[in-house]
Structure 1
Amino acid sequence: MPSGTRYWTVLDDGMDLVRPADHWLRHLRFGQHRAELTTKAYAGDVALHLSWCKRTSRDWRVAARDLGLFMVWLKYTPVQADGSVGTVVSGPGAVPVRGERRINRVLTGVRGLLAHAIRMDEVPPWVLGQIYELADTRDLLQEAHTEGAGLGYRLKARHRLQEPESQVDRTSDEAVVAMFRACRNARDRLIVLLLARVGLRRGQVAGLRREDCHLLMDSRALGCDVEGPHLHVVRRQNPNGAWSKSRRSWVMPVDFLVVQAFDQYAVERHERLGAGGSDLLLVNLFRPPLGSPVTPDAIGDLIEALARRADVDEHVAPHRMRHGFASNVADAEGTLDEIQNLLGQSQPTSAQPYLHPSPGRLRAAIERVPTPRELVDEVRR
């Protein structure tokens, strides 16, 4: 856009905008303030559905009545190296090319487009009944009910596959130490600590500005009343596409290791760029364009490269490092509300999926359970 803000959209074979999809994606980016990467994911989902409609001679406005067939097509139809969609591979023993989780995500994008198009009077209202069924709140968990509220109604997706349970695990401290040692410069060491020791998402790391970093014991000279070294995590538009998923801003305390890493990186950056470069904290120092901000994708690529260089056996990713941070706080007897605030979550229960107790803490929990005297005597006999 002329403002410099970017979003992803959908083009047809003639490289023209697909207006309904573009209108929805722009609404997500600018109306709902969603991240650029969110529009990228949804644009790909919508493109798959529109491609299926075209290949099967269906009008996308009313093709929702055949979403079951679309799900089969998604499961067995690969995308070629040039971006085109291949032919359906069907029959007994065919190998699926997309799993349940990926198919459900595509369907989420399709439902979002259709629901928006219904509001814009571009799709018949009856299509809403093809993608959602009306459900009441009686089937929700007790914790999801609002105190004092009566019976409520909600829309429940009609087409959804049962996903296999796969809990995101924590990155081990051993892997973090190995990757830290594999770093070849101060900037990369700081990135590892911001992910593993501060628990930021990669978009939040890439979106940090130098003005957000208050590393003095007394920050009143900076106009800040927060005590001790800390970071201000702020959701804002950034030229590198970095985006904080949390809608609210919060203060993140940091320890002496992170402060030292900041100091070493500040010296390294000044030696390479002087006072120049982007106002964003993390910038390119060793490849052109020098001084340009590091992107969230580049941080993901860096973690993959460090894991390979350090010969780490486990699967490592920025989000797993965030899980490791939350779990380490829990292992150090941090409470759920403390972890919630450190992660920038809105509710204490939002932090629950991030907690993965260490084996030592699980054993300690068992040893704290008192043993009945009678049982001890019986075992000793």
Structure 2
Amino acid sequence: MESVYRAERAVSPASGAVRWVVVESRTYALHLEATGYLASLRARGCSPNTERVYAGRLALYLNYCRTQRLDWSRPGFTGLSLLQQWLVETPLPPRTDRLAVQPVRCRSQQTANAVMTVVGEFLRFGAARGQVPPETVELLAQPKLLRFAPPGYDVGERGQFRQVRAAAFRFKTVQPGFEDLSPSQIRSMIASRPRARDRFLIALLACTGLRIGEALGLHREDLHLLASSRLAGCGIEGPHVHVRRRPGNPNRALAKSRFPRTVPVTAELVALYTDYQYERDRVPQALAEPMVFVNLFRSMRGRPMAYANTKEMFDRLARTVGHACRPHMLRHAAATRWLREGVDRDVVQRLLGHVSPLSMEVYRTVDDTELRAAVEHVALLQGQR
């Protein structure tokens, strides 16, 4: 499919602010409706990474409509249905330009659902501004009866709230679950890294359960690692980390939660930070940088560490240790460890920075050891009887 529209990163010459827009490939003319929707995400305080991903999905939708000769504001039921199938059946371009034969890749149903969600939000945004007819929005949802209500959902005394509106264009996918990391795997990950910065980053995520955006957005003033921080104007006792949302970080790292929180840390993590400080102090360009995680070993030394650098580091780590390693797996491992050790769910929710208690449902996983212990415990009771 020829890409008529594409997502572009725009930088303001006056303020240096980064924006994402959708442009026509040849003339670089803005697609005003799509760019307006992206501006609304920015106004709502969404992450720049969310804006970037949504821009790419909007360009994909507009290119599909252009190829199929559809009016993007009036795709119709058939057009949206064919888009849903087209997303999972159309091969993706090769990852590189190498001549080696590569397997054919297609989007997963989960990815197609994510694209359809963005398309639906975009059309609803346009309908609220008179750019999309109401009959288009009516196609996006259909009635659904909740046979099994989610935890915390009130169906009403007579079940009158079981009838809801659900997305009409959405694949029924199997819940993939969360990949976990054992304590021994985490220790192996830390030990395999030759650089103190990387060891500290891995240990920080595993100890605190921070999101990667929260970790990369930390400033040095956020680390209170002494027994008492009263001299710094902080009354919280013991070593801890402050997590704050700062939209102006130069690496565009952004904490997801708008509510600040503090997370206690261990003495072992403080020791790893000391090693990292010694390593960092040997790079003159990093001395005045307020961000905690900075580039030390390549070009742009002293500049804040970005998402791309972090992904590259975790990809190398996965090849070294021989299993999947992603930052969010360390967050999941921390939450699972706390719950498994009997920490109150409200405390874990506060540590993770979740606003809703429903967000905690995904973290409590049961491992093989617990399953075997349960079966053997019941067998022992039966034998005693």
TM superposition score normalised by structure 2:
0.86
Q: Which runs of 4+ in 1 moved over 6 A?
A: 136-139, 146-150
- Map Cα deviations across residues 115-139 of structure 1 (whole Å, 9 max, x no partner): 1111111111221101123568897
CA contact (8 A) 1:170 1:324 kept: yes
The residue number in structure 2 matching 1:7 is: 19
The residue number in structure 2 matching 1:46 is: 58
CA contact (8 A) 2:214 2:243 kept: yes
CA contact (8 A) 2:213 2:254 kept: yes
Q: Distance in 1 between matches of 2:333 and 2:60?
A: 35
User: 1:246: Cα distance to partner?
Assistant: 1.9
- SS of 1:271's equivalent in the other structure is coil
The residue number in structure 2 matching 1:90 is: none
Paired amino acid for 1:351: M
In structure 2, relative to structure 1, the CA distance for the partners of 1:5 and 1:117 (3 Å cut) is same
Aligned-residue sequence identity (percent) comes to: 32
1:246 aligns with 2:257: yes
CA contact (8 A) 1:203 1:244 kept: yes
1:271 aligns with 2:282: yes
User: 1:154: Cα distance to partner?
Assistant: 5.5
Aligned Cα RMSD in Å? 2.7
CA contact (8 A) 2:285 2:301 kept: no
In structure 2, relative to structure 1, the CA distance for the partners of 1:121 and 1:298 (3 Å cut) is same
Q: Distance in 2 between matches of 1:207 and 1:148?
A: 46
Given the alignment, which residue of 29, 36, 39 partners 1:23?
Answer: 36
- SS of 1:197's equivalent in the other structure is helix
- SS of 2:292's equivalent in the other structure is coil
User: 1:357: Cα distance to partner?
Assistant: 3.5
Q: Distance in 2 between matches of 1:179 and 1:203?
A: 20
- Map Cα deviations across residues 123-175 of structure 1 (whole Å, 9 max, x no partner): 11221101123568897436222899995686421111111221012122232
In structure 2, relative to structure 1, the CA distance for the partners of 1:282 and 1:128 (3 Å cut) is same
The residue number in structure 2 matching 1:35 is: 47
- Map Cα deviations across residues 320-376 of structure 1 (whole Å, 9 max, x no partner): 11111111222322222222111111133312212223444444455555855xx42
In structure 2, relative to structure 1, the CA distance for the partners of 1:163 and 1:138 (3 Å cut) is closer
CA contact (8 A) 1:53 1:59 kept: yes
Q: Distance in 2 between matches of 1:9 and 1:64?
A: 25
The residue number in structure 2 matching 1:216 is: 226
Aligned ranges 1:184-223 → 2 under 5 Å: 184-223=194-233
Q: Distance in 2 between matches of 1:247 and 1:64?
A: 38
In structure 2, relative to structure 1, the CA distance for the partners of 1:283 and 1:275 (3 Å cut) is closer
Unaligned runs of 5+ in 2: 1-11, 97-103
The residue number in structure 2 matching 1:290 is: 301
Aligned ranges 1:220-369 → 2 under 5 Å: 220-237=230-247, 238-273=249-284, 276-310=287-321, 312=322, 314-366=323-375
User: 1:35: Cα distance to partner?
Assistant: 0.6
The residue number in structure 2 matching 1:63 is: 75
CA contact (8 A) 1:5 1:239 kept: no
In structure 2, relative to structure 1, the CA distance for the partners of 1:339 and 1:243 (3 Å cut) is same
Q: Which structure has more RCO (C-alpha within 8 Å, separation ≥ 6)?
A: 1
User: 1:53: Cα distance to partner?
Assistant: 0.5
CA contact (8 A) 1:277 1:283 kept: no
Paired amino acid for 1:198: T
Paired amino acid for 1:47: A
In structure 2, relative to structure 1, the CA distance for the partners of 1:82 and 1:297 (3 Å cut) is closer
User: 1:11: Cα distance to partner?
Assistant: 1.5
Which deviates the most, 2-11 or 40-49?
Answer: 2-11
The residue number in structure 1 matching 2:175 is: 165
Question: What is the aligned residue count?
Answer: 362
Which deviates the most, 267-276 or 292-301?
Answer: 267-276
Paired amino acid for 1:248: F
CA contact (8 A) 1:136 1:151 kept: no
In structure 2, relative to structure 1, the CA distance for the partners of 1:191 and 1:292 (3 Å cut) is same
Q: Distance in 2 between matches of 1:214 and 1:149?
A: 53
- SS of 1:342's equivalent in the other structure is helix
Q: Distance in 1 between matches of 2:316 and 2:260?
A: 31
In structure 2, relative to structure 1, the CA distance for the partners of 1:234 and 1:185 (3 Å cut) is same
Q: Distance in 2 between matches of 1:74 and 1:297?
A: 26
Paired amino acid for 1:68: S
The residue number in structure 2 matching 1:376 is: 383
In structure 2, relative to structure 1, the CA distance for the partners of 1:82 and 1:358 (3 Å cut) is closer
Paired amino acid for 2:153: A
Q: Distance in 1 between matches of 2:148 and 2:73?
A: 31
Q: Distance in 2 between matches of 1:229 and 1:321?
A: 20
In structure 2, relative to structure 1, the CA distance for the partners of 1:286 and 1:244 (3 Å cut) is same
Paired amino acid for 2:320: R
CA contact (8 A) 1:171 1:324 kept: yes
- Map Cα deviations across residues 204-255 of structure 1 (whole Å, 9 max, x no partner): 1110111111111111111111111101111111110111122321111100
In structure 2, relative to structure 1, the CA distance for the partners of 1:294 and 1:151 (3 Å cut) is same
- Map Cα deviations across residues 71-120 of structure 1 (whole Å, 9 max, x no partner): 1221222343599xxxxxxxxxxx87122101101101101111111111
Q: Distance in 1 between matches of 2:36 and 2:159?
A: 36
1:133 aligns with 2:142: yes
TM superposition score normalised by structure 1:
0.87
Q: Distance in 1 between matches of 2:142 and 2:195?
A: 54
